[in-house]
């Protein structure tokens, strides 16, 4: 298995840049500190300070339960921090600690019970999280070995443990690196982001026992404070509608290839153009109906684990494999297969 080693942060750099350009002094200061840290990690993967043991040295287990350890950075940036809650221990009363513990467990349970996957690496990798990272740090990230959560600034962002799908999203970057290694740039990078959104929202829907029609299809709901005009960071149903705020601007995600964004920023638009495959998944899930994790979710997982998926795959290549995997799972003429094919056409991604 390849080492799970790249940095993926939940808040896109362009949002932090927008805060720096348009926020108040306090807001600019914390956004600048977060963005500078994000850029340092992108150029030098791996945060500073003492880190926990490399993946190969962590004790794995064949147990059907998550093996969780939650640490407190105490507003520092030294990882992993002080151990505050281990697997099986009772809640400690710190909401960030307890949310991280619960939501790491919910993500593990989804992958185990729905997909038969034993943790991120499918070999029982213990799940490690550090909360209270940095001074009002405005992000959450997977660093290749563990989850890290900032507290937000309380003005724009709430604590980053508040949303189950945010935690699941970041953990799924580890699954993607383990299985497909999708290069984090351009369309393959947008697919990398989209896969995390897909399984992040499926973990939330599974936890709430929501059908595709009942779900809100929002990513990061609750993360924005009530001072910001926005419902979430992204909408899979309607990319480009998650927020529209004087400080953050308008959600820039496209939902169709005719609006595809060509840019050198954001690693070639990985957080932007991910709206296109996101909407394709939503269209397929709602066309099929029922619980999305039982139908189209399994097809997306089959595709992520498919040896034919190259690490530089573009949208069309990924789309073709989803249809092939749907045909294998449901049959070439099945309504599920047709719904997935139609969904890609509905966002301007064609299989030829």
Q: What residues act catalytically?
A: 170, 271
Q: Which among 167, 164, 158 is positioned nearest to 130, based on CA atoms?
A: 167
33 burial type by CB count under 10 A (0-12 exposed, 13-18 middle, 19+ buried): middle
Phi, psi of 19 (to 5 degrees): -65, -40
Q: Residue 319: how many CB atoms within 10 A of its CB? A: 24
- What whole-number distance in Å separates Cα of residue 198 and Cα of residue 293? 10
Within 10 angstroms of residue 332's Cβ, the number of other Cβ atoms is 11
Token digits of residue 48: 């500073």
- Residue 75 token pair: 């507003």
H or E, element range at 131: strand 127-131
> Would you call 273 helix, strand, or coil by DSSP?
coil
Helix (H/G/I), strand (E/B), else coil: 27: helix
Helix, strand, or coil (residue 346): helix
Helix extents (H) in the chain: 13-22, 25-43, 95-115, 164-179, 186-208, 266-269, 275-288, 296-304, 315-330, 335-346
The string of DSSP letters for 227-278 reads TSSBS-SEESSSTT-SBEETTTEE----SSGGGPPP-SSHHHHTTTTTHHHH
Q: What 8-state DSSP symbol labels residue 235?
A: E
């Amino acid at each position: 298995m390849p080492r799970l080693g790249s940095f993926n942060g939940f808040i896109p750099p362009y949002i932090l840049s927008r805060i720096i350009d348009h926020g108040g002094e306090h807001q600019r200061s914390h956004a600048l500190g977060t963005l500078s840290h994000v850029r340092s990690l992108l150029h030098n993967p791996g945060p500073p300070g003492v880190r926990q043991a490399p993946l190969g040295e962590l004790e794995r287990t064949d147990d059907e339960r998550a093996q969780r350890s939650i640490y407190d950075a105490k507003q520092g940036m030294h990882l992993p921090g002080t151990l505050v809650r281990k697997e099986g221990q009772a809640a400690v009363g710190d909401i960030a600690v307890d949310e991280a513990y619960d939501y790491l467990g919910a993500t593990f349970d989804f992958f185990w019970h729905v997909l038969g996957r034993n943790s991120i690496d499918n070999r029982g990798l213990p799940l490690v999280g550090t909360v209270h990272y940095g001074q009002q740090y405005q992000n959450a990230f997977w660093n290749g070995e563990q989850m890290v959560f900032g507290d937000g600034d309380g003005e724009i962002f709430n604590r980053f443990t508040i949303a189950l799908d945010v935690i699941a999203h970041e953990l799924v970057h580890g699954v993607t690196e383990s299985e497909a290694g999708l290069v984090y740039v351009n369309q393959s990078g947008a697919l990398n982001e989209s896969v995390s959104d897909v399984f992040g929202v499926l973990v939330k829907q599974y936890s709430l026992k929501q059908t595709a029609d009942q779900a809100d299809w929002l990513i990061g709901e609750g993360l924005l404070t009530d001072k910001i005009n926005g419902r979430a960071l992204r909408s899979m149903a309607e990319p480009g509608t998650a927020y529209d705020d004087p400080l953050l601007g308008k959600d820039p995600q496209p939902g169709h290839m005719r609006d595809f964004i060509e840019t050198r920023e954001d690693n070639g638009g990985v957080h932007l153009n991910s709206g296109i495959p996101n909407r394709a998944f939503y269209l397929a899930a709602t066309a099929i109906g029922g619980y999305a994790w039982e139908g189209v979710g399994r097809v997306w997982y089959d595709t992520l684990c498919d040896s034919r998926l190259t690490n530089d795959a573009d949208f069309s290549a990924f789309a073709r494999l989803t249809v092939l995997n749907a045909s294998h799972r449901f049959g070439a003429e099945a309504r599920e297969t047709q719904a997935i094919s139609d969904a890609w056409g509905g966002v301007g991604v064609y299989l030829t």
